[in-house]
Amino acid sequence: MKLISWNVNGLRACDKKGFRDAFATLDADIFCLQETKMQAGQLDIAFDGYESFWNYADKKGYSGTAIFTRIKPLNVTYGLGIDEHDHEGRVITLELDKCFVVTVYTPNSQDELRRLDYRMTFDDAFRTYVVDLSATKPVLICGDMNVAHKEIDLKNPNTNHHNPGFTDEERGKFTVLLESGFVDSFRHFYPDLKDEYSWWSYRFHAREKNIGWRIDYWLASDSLRDKLTGARIHQNIEGSDHCPVELTLDI
């Protein structure tokens, strides 16, 4: 099974920059999107052989997630089931025969960390949610999780130490999530690989210089560790300030 996750930073904009060609080239069984930034009816997009599921934010042009899947789910749920967290379209869960697939667009702590407290609350709620799911069957988690976990996961860790996405608090919550029974699939295969990033600022020619961050992930329940067959970051695919990240597994 091949799975892709991509923060498209506005699907309507990304669609004008080759999204459909990239979708066809990647040829995933399940294709998860974050930051779609759209409402129902704003873009006519469908792919033969795929069902699509959408979670829109209440606020127009903001956040939002989607999943295209060739594998018919047993059930689909939206959000965490907590009103505080379920107005920004951040989570979709597919229940498949042998696992759950959860896509998440984790809140950004924002400038001056003004949303860090909310981010911490969301992280706790999300962790509880996926741990509860894992009591039923294994879980695959993907998305823009808005945190570079280790210093190896961004180009300039020293100058970004207290910036959004690389605070001790955010990194600590991610560690707790992994310790709750999940494996970072990319680091499973490439524990020491440097300069592999999934997001670059639009400023200062950051992508051209590969001054980036790895903040997009595929996590898997520890019980699936021996089923993982590959992980990849598609740095060559443009259309967004993020690039697609891939997981393959035999399940």
The catalytically annotated residue of 105, 129, 197, 217 is 105
The torsion angle over the Cα atoms of residues 123, 126, 132 and 136, rounded to 10 degrees, is -130
Q: Is there a contact between 212 and 197 (Cβ–Cβ < 8 Å)?
A: yes
Q: How far apart are CA 239 and CA 236, in angstroms?
A: 10
End-to-end Cα separation, the chain, in angstroms: 7
Residue 100, SS3 per DSSP: strand
The catalytically annotated residue of 123, 144, 153, 184 is 144
Measured N-to-C along each axis, helices 168-179 and 116-134 cross at an angle, to the nearest 10 degrees, of 10
Q: How far apart are CA 140 and CA 113, in angstroms?
A: 29
State yes or no: is 56 an active-site residue.
no
Burial class (CB in 10 A: 0-12, 13-18, 19+), 184: buried
Residue 73, SS3 per DSSP: coil
Which two structure tokens, joined as six digits, stand for 71?
A: 């594998």
State yes or no: is 144 an active-site residue.
yes
Active site residues: 105, 144
